[in-house]
Amino acid sequence: MSYTINISQKEAIFLDSSVIIGLFSGDKSGEKIFEEIIANSLYINDVVFSEVIYKMMILKFLEGGGSFGLKRLKKTLAKYLYLYDEFQNFLEDFEIKFLVINKEVIESSCLLASECELLPNDALITATCKHYGIGKIATFDSDFKRVGFLEVVEV
């Protein structure tokens, strides 16, 4: 993948796992949205880190022709450990910054989950954005459109 970076005013954008997985999977929508936001300051948290690695492991496992089962994945886990390095390289190459989930974020996520009807991981992502003052999120998950203070980046 090669992307040209247009030096302009950088904006803080949270990068959801759905876009990263799309990008890693060769999805044209993932590539297009990433091209749109690459010139900005991009952020993730540990939820996104976990979701990307886990979902990519499942996708790679399924590419091998097996039907998914957690026990079957665990038996062949060594084949997919390279994904940790690939993801860390991706974060470094594109200077994606990591935001820490602390107690305040967790408490806020509980409120936001109720207010916006979000699943736990989405609530943690939303609370992370709120805590760090990030008003935009690049995602394919329409649930984030219910969050009043977040603008969903779309292509």
- Whether the pLDDT of residue 6 is over 70: the answer is no
Average pLDDT along the chain:
91
pTM, two decimals, is: 0.89
Distance of CA 138 to the CA centre of its chain: 8
- Within the chain, what is the greatest distance between any pair of CA atoms? 48
- Whether the pLDDT of residue 3 is over 60: the answer is no
Bridge partner list, 153 = 138
**Predicted confidence (pLDDT) per residue in 52-61, tens digit:** 999 999 998 8
Give the chain's length. 155
Kindly list the structural domains of the chain, giving each domain's residue range(s) and its CATH number in brackets, ordered by start: 12-153 (3.40.50.1010)
Angle ∠(11,13,19) on CA atoms, nearest 5: 140
Q: Collapsing DSSP states into helix, strand and coil, what is residue 13?
A: strand
Q: What is the CA radius of gyration of the chain?
A: 16
- DSSP secondary structure code for residue 133 in this structure: T
